[in-house]
Amino acid sequence: MNTLKICYHGNCFDGASSAAVFSRFYEERINPGWARAFQPMMHRAGALFDESIFDGDENAIVDFKYCPSEKLTWWFDHHKSAFLTAEDEAHFRADTRGKKFVDASYKSCTRFIADIAEQKFGFDPSPLSELLHWANKIDGALYEAPSEPVEMKADAFKLALVIENTRDQQIIERIITDLQHKPMGELVALPYVAERIAPLYERHLRSMEIIKQAASVRGPVIFFDVVGHDMEGYSKFIPYYLHPEVTYSVSVSQSSFRSKISVGSNPWSPRPRTHDLAAICERYGGGGHAVVAAISLAPEELDSARKIAAEVVEELQK
């Protein structure tokens, strides 16, 4: 049996939703009956891609950076920093097979895939409208107030919590498979999802307490160093829920595979954002969107991470 390999942005609601929409589209419009294999992709220091991941009969990347591999057949991304290098971008531009797409104006890669699949391949995305709505809302941070994502009343936030914090890839793959056909309310009630929500919500409340303790506000920036706490995947809106007056947030965190500087902007800020955060992070080898970006270093490069964070805080004062 042929296999479609889907590499997606790991531990990300839009990444998993993109994998689900692409998978359903591929089944309905490209090759029905193919098996699926999934691979989460994470931003990290050093090489992002190992050629050996492209072991399917077709290989796709969704919601993640471009890879100039001949084995890559499909690609969809909406990040501003979609290319690691100018050579990668030239490689993409030279590809005329019509299966690789990028558009940084999209709030979510999920919606981008649905639109391209509909316009160019005759796919009907209407059964997925609930998923498209939430992926756009969550990845685009299209909220009325920080209380919406921080208090997490809607089912989609609970599912996002599970997707962002579950390291067991079999569970994530099951969610990607279920997302293709099940409504959100049904999905969060399935025992394998429901049993994971409560402990993660408790952890979310604890992470809010840790950020509250660690945070200091300087001018338009809230800064917190949460190294030593298990904080991978905390809600990036907590800082603005706690300090609605700030424009930017900068944090340093550390996990088993990286030291990370997260740089964000407050969508509800009384003072508008004036910096392009992707551009700032790109100078340190990171990237992202103008409104939210990050820099990943090796776990042992914590001192450098702290130094960079201090420089970014300084730069955002201006």
Residue 19 engages Mn ion in binding (rule: CB under 5 A): no
3-state secondary structure of 175: helix
Q: Which is nearer to Mn ion, 92 or 112 (CB)?
A: 112
Q: Which residue is nearest to Mn ion (CB)?
A: 14
> Would the CA dihedral through 29, 175, 291, 256 be positive or negative?
negative
Give the nearest distance from C-beta 110 to Mn ion in angstroms: 8
Total site size for Mn ion, rule CB under 5 A: 4
Q: Which is nearer to Mn ion, 135 or 250 (CB)?
A: 135
Within residues 56-75, the interface with Mn ion by CB under 5 A covers 63
Q: Which is nearer to Mn ion, 111 or 196 (CB)?
A: 111
Give the residue carrying structure tokens 């902007």: 265
Instruction: Quote the CA–CA distance of 79 and 42 in Å, as a whole number.
Output: 14
116-132 in b/e form (b: 16+ CB < 10 A) is bbeeeeebebeebeebb
Q: Which is nearer to Mn ion, 80 or 243 (CB)?
A: 80
Of the candidate residues 7, 8, 14, 73, the single one contacting Mn ion (CB under 5 A): 14
What x-and-dash track marks residues 92-131 binding Mn ion by CB under 5 A? -----------------x----------------------
E strand map for 10-112: 35-41, 58-62, 74-77, 100-102
Give the nearest distance from C-beta 139 to Mn ion in angstroms: 4
Give the nearest distance from C-beta 17 to Mn ion in angstroms: 9
Residue 164 engages Mn ion in binding (rule: CB under 5 A): no
Residue 139 engages Mn ion in binding (rule: CB under 5 A): yes
Contact 53, 38 (CB under 8 A): no
Q: Which is nearer to Mn ion, 64 or 284 (CB)?
A: 64
Residue type, 53: I
3-state secondary structure of 217: strand
Within residues 224-243, the interface with Mn ion by CB under 5 A covers none
Give the nearest distance from C-beta 152 to Mn ion in angstroms: 19
Q: Which element (helix H / strand E) includes 239? A: helix 238-242
Q: What sections of the chain are H helices per DSSP?
A: 13-25, 86-93, 109-121, 129-139, 147-151, 155-165, 169-179, 184-189, 191-214, 238-242, 277-282, 302-315
3-state secondary structure of 119: helix
Within residues 251-290, the interface with Mn ion by CB under 5 A covers none
Residues that bind Mn ion (CB under 5 A): 14, 63, 109, 139
